[in-house]
Amino acid sequence: TVSVLYWGREPEAPRGASRPGLFRLTHMSLKRCQLRHYPPGIIVEYEHEGGIAARKTIDLLDLSPVTDVSSVVASLKRNEPLLQQAPDEQLRKLVESLASKLVCDTTQEFCLFKPLRPHHLPLTHCAFNKAGDKDGDKLITCSYDKTCKLWDTRTGN
């Protein structure tokens, strides 16, 4: 459990009655940390005193594959009270995992196979079926012209 000191209204203050200058102590407990790959960040799930679940997103926009992970972990623990109770090793593994996913494969090449001209008006939706199904090569597009078209992704027809 972490105790966090907030500046602002007291919890029992009437609605709209701001009392600047009062501190409020809140206890929060960390439940889990999740990764957000793009843009890079950590989603922290925690509970307030009354068992109320909450979520906070911490952006790591400067993270790159060459970033010093130890300094990022130290900065996170210093600046974020909720992460102070997280084990250093676990937090380091999370940040390393996130940084390793930011590597771009520059050896892969792409080319235009076949342009699709599906509709007269702009598309509103596009959906692929799951890979691995017997028909894992289908695509459906929907448009403002109130039409849907089913495509074979291998042939473009």
CA distance 147 to 126: 12
For residue 48, what are the CA distances in angstroms to 15, 44, 45, 53? Answer: 20, 13, 10, 7
pLDDT along the chain (157 residues), means of 10: 44 49 63 84 82 85 86 88 81 88 77 77 84 70 89 79
Residue ranges of domains in the chain: 2-100, 114-157
pTM given for the model = 0.53
